[in-house]
Structure 1
Amino acid sequence: MKLARLFPLGLAALAAVAQAAPPEAALAGRYYLQGVREVGSELRLHEDGRFEWMLAYGAVDQYAEGRWTREGDEVVLVPARAPAGRPLFELGEAVPWEEDDEERLGEKEQLAAEDQAAARCPFLEDAADAAAVAAPALDEPAAAPDAAELAAAAAHAALDLQVARFEAETAMRDAAARIERDGTEAAGAAIERARQARAALRDTFRAAQDAAYRAGVEPPRWSEPERPARCRITVEPRSGGYAVRVHDEYYGLNWSGIEVEFRFSDGHRESRTTDRGGWAGVRPRAQATLEQVRLRLRGQEGTVGENTLAVAPPGPAVLQVRFDARQTVPLPFDELRLRVEDGALVPANWGEGRYVRE
């Protein structure tokens, strides 16, 4: 895994530090760590005194870049620190809302609607497993059944499926009515009956598929049992939106898990969390404009940092937000000394391993 692909250098901020005399050009080059099991590490020394260093061990990845110098028989690495006083989040450019953004927000709205329906009706569960049932693997019977027997079994299984669907829908209606009348806690027994009826429907569906395949007839297709009104999913058709994409230029990564609050001119606020693409979005509001976006990073012990950004997008747009991750990620070292030995670089305090030039 090459540093050049993983991390943009982005070292313009280090130019002011580059006034020292350049180190020995003879030591410049790309080095790889050898002699340490299950650890991968790469070091690049540039002739102008810059370096990039990466180490990977299990699920731990560390990275640093900064300045290197030669002191006697040692190479000394000093990583660059985040600029003092720089905000954790900074607003970049606004790019037009595109079809991919529309699709992403629509998918999130659908998932949110499903979660809300499940909260209203706790007996609901994801039916995707049943919907995606593939043709079953059929064991060869000791004696091949008669074709008429197989057809009869398939027809009987199809009737069983109709009965199971009716029983599931009845149990769901009963549970929904009990929840509406008495509340979720008091409806516990009815909720459990609805869960069991839905599970029985899935089992019966699989049995009907199996029987149909054996008989060589068209297998049934899964469809959700009809839901009571309070359990239905409704997503209002809308288009356009506002989103943020949180990106760190130092590591070259989009950041997930950033809390985002969209604040509108009418006082309305909506909270979202960035996904793995660093993206979070909301729909526009009638007669209101987006005025502020607050971004917050939480850690195990509370808020790590936050900023409120004033925004004025001209229309549906994705706001690019620069995130300075260096403020939140501890430096892997304050100084690393490497002893020069026969063209290799040996960490002074590691006890094992040496960086060998490519």
Structure 2
Amino acid sequence: MSNALKFSLLALSLLAAGAQAADPIQDRQRAALAGHYVLEGVADAGSELELRPDGRFEWSLSYGLMVESASGIWNVGADRVVLTMQAPAEGKPLFSLDQVLPWNQDAQRRLEEFAQEQRDAMAERACGFAQTYRLGLAQAETEALVAQPANDPADPAHRAAAEAALTPELAALERSRLAVEAAAATAIKRKAGSAAAYDPLPPPMPSATDAAAAAAAAAANEAKAMQSPGHAAPVDEMEAADRAVRAYLRQYQRVGELHALAGRTPPQLRQPQFDTTGCLPPSAAAKPSGYAVVVGDPQRGYRAEGIGVEFVYSDGRSASAQTSPGGWALALQRPGARLQRVVLQAPDRPSETLALDEGQGRVFAIRLDTAAARPPSFEQMILTQDDGDLISPQIRGRYVRQ
């Protein structure tokens, strides 16, 4: 046998082996099934399936506000079509900077609402008695809602004693309310006279060493004051207001308990009034300016809620926020500092950092890779062929080729 003939026979055998590996039968089956399918028979859901001739698929499902998608490879076996999802590549970032936009009216409106919340929070930090009052009142009202009347209706003596105590205790509550207003006014006036420049961020947390040293110094001062009979530690205006608030809250709770013992519904009580905006410097009232981050997937018209956003400034300080249902997170500008980066945190995923340049704009549209962020919709889906349609046991209805 000549060498030319041997070479020809070897080439033919290799071609035959390659044809067998390509599985022409499956190729013909795929060609017959490839196409675009749409889910029919389900009024409250929409789903599409694209079977490509090259053996890849694209699938999507929308149900109310939920949107899912998957891609991978598909094969044919007997009368079934098997979809095998391809997992997203590990290490691929979820977030990327999509575009930077100039500040606009919508962002300003949202920022002003956010700034008011920040001012209220800072006012409470500056005048601590306001936070004591808010939290104490909420706790007292919650306890009153769940409390059961302690008196026995069959024991008229308890009821009569509570009834008799109500009038003087209500008068004491009114005196306590007036004391709170007077103490608060004095504390706010003193605070306004010594207010520093407005900074929307809370003071930085001290180190463990500094915190321990401050606690030790406070304990030493208190011990020294106790060792000096007749020389109690002076009480400043802010502490006096806090004590007045605590006394009022105790009396408020006492009045509520008496009404329960008497089997009566508490009347509408006049609450202490104080304006904590005086705890802030005049600069806090200026029109706010700031930054906005909008997180979503523009291709799907989706905005991401619940994404943690940490705004990091050039001086090392940071402000934390969480995206709203509309995908917005906001932060205020700070005097003498620039926004340098944001740290984004999706649930159950490592945080990611994006560098930002506020010189290009102050509204940062950040793209979220929703396919990578969501858990897999499925690992494998097996559809049954039925007269040209495809039926999945996991989804109602049937996929009809368009």
TM-score when normalising by structure 1: 0.60
Q: Give the alignment of 1:224-263 within 5 angstroms.
A: 226-227=273-274, 235-249=284-298, 251-263=300-312
Q: Give the alignment of 1:1-358 within 5 angstroms.
A: 23-24=31-32, 28-32=36-40, 41-46=45-50, 48=52, 50-54=57-61, 56=63, 61=66, 63-67=68-72, 69=74, 71=76, 72-117=78-123, 120=128, 121=130, 122-124=132-134, 170=178, 172-173=180-181, 176=184, 180-181=238-239, 187-193=245-251, 203=268, 226-227=273-274, 235-249=284-298, 251-299=300-348, 304-314=349-359, 316-347=361-392, 350=394, 353-355=396-398, 357=400
Letter in 2 for 1:345: L
Deviations 1:303-347 (A, max 9, x none): x22112222221651112122233332112112110111333233
Deviations 1:180-207 (A, max 9, x none): 326858953323557999xx999489xx
Deviations 1:43-74 (A, max 9, x none): 32336464323264xx9946123256451422
Letter in 2 for 1:63: E
Letter in 1 for 2:133: F
Q: Greater CA deviation, 92-101 or 322-331?
A: 322-331
Separation in 2, partners of 1:226, 1:248 = 46
- Relative distance call for 1:341 and 1:169 in structure 2 (3 A) is same
Of structures 1 and 2, the larger Rg is shown by 2
Aligned length: 272
Separation in 1, partners of 2:83, 2:307 = 32
Secondary structure of 1:257's aligned partner: coil
* Alpha-carbon offset, residue 253 of structure 1: 1.7
Separation in 2, partners of 1:240, 1:315 = 15
* Alpha-carbon offset, residue 75 of structure 1: 2.2
Separation in 2, partners of 1:194, 1:315 = 54
- Gaps of at least 5 residues in structure 1 are 1-19, 126-165, 206-223
Aligned CA RMSD, in angstroms, stands at 4.5
Letter in 1 for 2:313: F
- Gaps of at least 5 residues in structure 2 are 1-26, 136-173, 188-234, 256-264
* Alpha-carbon offset, residue 117 of structure 1: 4.7
Separation in 1, partners of 2:267, 2:360 = 46
- Relative distance call for 1:327 and 1:47 in structure 2 (3 A) is closer
Secondary structure of 1:189's aligned partner: helix
1:23 touches 1:69 (CA, 8 Å); kept in 2?
no
Between the two proteins, what is the percent identity of the paired residues? 24
Separation in 1, partners of 2:95, 2:384 = 39
- Relative distance call for 1:202 and 1:180 in structure 2 (3 A) is farther
- Relative distance call for 1:286 and 1:26 in structure 2 (3 A) is closer
Greater helix proportion? 2
* Alpha-carbon offset, residue 249 of structure 1: 4.5
Separation in 1, partners of 2:31, 2:243 = 72
Greater strand proportion? 1
